[in-house]
Amino acid sequence: MKKTQTNKRILQGEVVSDKMDKTVVVLVSKYKKHPIYQKYHKVTKRYKAHDEKNQFKVGDIVRIIESRPISKEKRWKVLYK
């Protein structure tokens, strides 16, 4: 079986909520450079990711991968810790 390369984005972040069934909220932080002042500032974004077995808890560092739309706001799946 041949391994194929995918163009799906992979992000790393921290689980901040696991109260939903089969869904976790992952906070992804990155540093972005200001175009005029040339200083770096932190930008954070929250993604809802699919967690099939409800195995990830608050505080876990996880990697998420882009996927097809699973629900209204879920477009990511959790890869692993």
What is the band of 1 on the pLDDT scale with cuts at 50, 70, 90?
Answer: low
What is the band of 3 on the pLDDT scale with cuts at 50, 70, 90?
Answer: low
Query: Where residue 70 sits, what CATH number does that domain have?
Result: 2.40.50.140
2: in domain: no
Tokens read off for 12: 């790393």
Q: What is the pTM of this model?
A: 0.86
For the chain, what percent of residues have pLDDT higher than 90? 89
For the chain, what percent of residues have pLDDT higher than 70? 95
CA angle 24, 28, 4 (to 5 degrees): 80
Tell me which DSSP letter residue 17 carries. Answer: E
- Structural domain total, the chain: 1
- State the residue range of the domain holding 45: 10-80
pLDDT tens per residue across span 20-59: 999 999 999 999 999 999 999 999 999 999 999 999 999 9
66: in domain: yes
Q: Virtual CA dihedral for 77, 61, 54, 47, nearest 10 degrees?
A: -40
Instruction: Please name the residue that has the structure tokens 């882009």.
Output: 66
